[in-house]
Amino acid sequence: MNILLIEDEEKIARFVELELKHEGYSVTKSYDGREGLELALSGCYDLILLDVMLPHLNGLEVLRRLRRSSEVPVILLTARDAVMDKVSGLDAGADDYITKPFAIEELLARIRVALKKRAGTGTQPTHELEAAGVTLNEERHEVKCQEKPIELTNREFELLHALLKNKNIVMSREKLMDLVCGYDFAGETNVIDVYVRYLRSKIDDKFHIRLIQTVRGVGYVIRD
């Protein structure tokens, strides 16, 4: 998860950055409203922590401009008792706000809520993986070849997903087993060969393409 922190008070920014990194988030800092907006518009972030009082462009204006094209979750960092900021912030499209000074645990909790809420609304861009005319839509759990839908079992879908997600990377049978069957699956790795055969009969043979390639002695790969 990538978090963009737009906060001009360096001490607060550094403290928050450290705590977030400790929790496993990647953090990019910006001390300036205008630069912060540009970064936010890049679309590289899963969540934005946005201070209200900022040089060059205040946080509310950053938020308003950001909302014209982005639904990324935003949590405002407001000064104590700045009631107007909170109201205007929520009106401008903030997901939440937190009043400074705050306990880091509260911020972490609000981040988790905002990320979860956003993940559940389905407003994220659809994730479609593609190779050789085959598309896999992650949200709709749908596979098509040359625009025609293909019916796959769960395991077949998971295998195709693992290969497409790691396009151009040769995947060992063991690795594919972990991804498709789970780490605690105790079966033989040749079950992967069986699923590859099923996929080939449903896709390669039917549509006369060569999607899944065998890398002798190693495993399988889907190439561009």
First to last CA, the chain: 27
Q: Residue 156, Cβ neighbours under 10 Å: how many? A: 19
CA dist 62 and 67 (Å) reads 9
Residues that bind Ca ion (CB under 5 A): 8, 51, 53
Q: Are 221 and 171 in contact (CB under 8 A)?
A: yes
- Min. distance of Cβ 52 from Ca ion in angstroms? 7
- Min. distance of Cβ 32 from Ca ion in angstroms? 10
- Min. distance of Cβ 53 from Ca ion in angstroms? 4
- Min. distance of Cβ 107 from Ca ion in angstroms? 16
* 51/156 with CB nearer Ca ion: 51
- Min. distance of Cβ 79 from Ca ion in angstroms? 8
* 46/51 with CB nearer Ca ion: 51
φ/ψ region of 185 (left if φ > 0, alpha if ψ in -120 to 50, else beta) reads beta
- Min. distance of Cβ 85 from Ca ion in angstroms? 11
* 6/143 with CB nearer Ca ion: 6
- Min. distance of Cβ 54 from Ca ion in angstroms? 6
47-51 and 74-78: which strand pairing? Answer: parallel
* 53/115 with CB nearer Ca ion: 53
42 DSSP 8-state letter = T
Contacts by 104-113, CB closer than 8 A, 24 or more apart: 104/15, 104/16, 104/19, 107/16, 107/19, 107/49, 107/75, 108/19, 108/20, 108/23, 110/75, 111/3, 111/20, 111/25, 111/47, 111/49, 111/75
CA dist 23 and 15 (Å) reads 13
* 53/209 with CB nearer Ca ion: 53
* 57/221 with CB nearer Ca ion: 57
* Side chain identity, residue 206: K
* 57/90 with CB nearer Ca ion: 57
